[in-house]
Structure formats: structure tokens, C-alpha cells
Copies of this chain bind each other. A is one copy, B any other.
Amino acid sequence: MSQFESIALIGPGRVAHQLGAALHDQGVTIEGVYGRNAEETKKLADKLDSRVIVNLSDVIQADLILLTVSDDAVAEVSHQLNRNNKGLVVHTSGAVPLSAIEGPNRRAVFYPLQSFSFDKHIIWENVPFCLEAENDEDLNGLGGLAELLSQRIHVLSSDQRKSLHLAAVFANNFANLMFELSEDLLAKAEIDRSILHPLILETANTVLMQSANLSQTGPAARGDKKTIEMHRELLGEDNSYREIYDRLTNEIYNRSHEQKL
């Protein structure tokens, strides 16, 4: 069981909805919910058997004040909190340092590494939680809370979390862009996009088994210039597909070549 007996959620967005509901399901009390949009805030408070916090400057009766606001709002919102709150103030962002939370609050970070891309069912046991705190007691407390949902718990510094956030842009946003470009090419050739789904799953599963640089295949890794020229011709000139193809093909070619030296 978590050492936090009650939690306040500040910012009733997607993370608050998902994380609040998951914690509530685990028997954690959601003491109150604060948000600028009265209707959304009320809706979330009702869902979580909680109450609406009207002013941030009120004393909040919660052990943990969880900021599920946008990155930019962390500093401002923590500044507006009542200084007499006894709770630990925690933000949930990958890109924001611990120090963005204003003192004299006790501060920490509770970052679920997950793309909350649409209204989907989150499988919390697969979600890594990245924690940072100013002392072991708070860190252990947050560890206990995360353990209610997942065994994947990592203690990272603000600098490490920043690098992780950047790495996640490559692994999620940029990989997703590659899937999007491939879907465009299939659509143009009148092929159903589902034909690539087994290969996409295979690509992801392979990187789980061994480092991605060991499993690179294809014309660029082989240095198969004939196939590369055929692809470039097919893409045509002066378009994003061709530019991206050239840039990434060169990158794979150079990396594969370096490894062989």
C-alpha cells in the first residue's frame, strides 16, 4: 500500500483522467481536483469520488499534490499553491526538471513514460515510471505509489529524464512518422496498409531481443546501390519522401560501413 493516504490532482487533462482513475481503482483516495475548466474538473472529480478544489491558494488536504498540467504551467501552478500545504508537490512531465517546481514545496517527479495518444485502455503494468525526489523518504513513497500500477520503476535525475524524453521522441514520434510515410506509399500504390503490420510488429519485437544496430537489414545496410537508385527514382525529386529517404539511407549506410571497419 502507498504511504500517501490522499492525492490532489491539479490539471484535469488526459494524464489526470487516466492516472487518477488507475490510482482510484487501487483504493487511493483522490482528495480533490483542480482545473480552470469548471465542467471538466467537476466531471473528473465525480468520476474519482472526489471534490472540486476552487482556489489553488486554499490549503490542500492531501499528502501528494500531483501536477498533471502542461510543461509550461508547472512553475506557475506550483508558485500559486498555498505555502502551508503539507503535501509533496510532484509533476508528471518528462521534459521538465525537478527544479521547475517552486519552493518551499517538497518536490518530486513522477513521470509515466507512455504515449497518451488517444482514448485508449492503458495497460499500466507495462508503463515505466521514472521517479526523482529530494530525499529517500519521498522517493520511497513515490515508489510505493508506482508499484500499485507497475513493477517498472526507474530512478532518474532531471538530466537523465530529459535525455529519455528526447530518446522517446525518436522511438515513438519519429518511428511513427516512418510508419506514416510507409502508409502513404502504400496508399499511392493502392495496397492496403495492413500488409505491413506483421513487419511493423516484427521490427518492434526484434529490437526487444537485441540492440537495434545489430538487426539492421535492407539496401542501405547492404550497400545495394542498384535498389537504392530504384527507390529514389520511384520517389521522384524534390519532395519530403525523397529527402528523408536520402538522409536516412546515408545514415544507415555510414553506420553499417563504420561497423565493418
Contact = CB atoms under 8 A, between A and B. Distances in A.
B247 A169 contact: no
Nearest to A95: B227
A128 interface: yes
Interface residues of A, number: 92
Contacts of A180: 211-213, 216, 255
Contact of A199 (B168, B178, B190, B205): B168
Contacts of A244: 174, 247-248, 251
A204 interface: yes
B171 A220 contact: no
B219 A169 contact: yes
A45 to B, nearest CB: 26
Q: Copies per complex?
A: 2
A194 to B, nearest CB: 8
Contacts of A197: 207-208
A118 B168 contact: no
Given A71-B227, A234-B162, A244-B251, A212 B95 contact: no
B217 A177 contact: no
B206 A115 contact: yes
Interface string A167-189: 11111111111111111011011
Contacts of A174: 178, 181, 244, 248, 252
Interface string A72-89: 100000000000000000
A171 B245 CA distance: 12
Interface of A: 71-72, 95, 113-118, 120, 126-128, 130, 152, 154, 156, 159-160, 162-183, 185-186, 188-191, 193, 195-221, 224, 226-227, 230-231, 234-235, 240, 243-245, 247-248, 251-252, 254-255
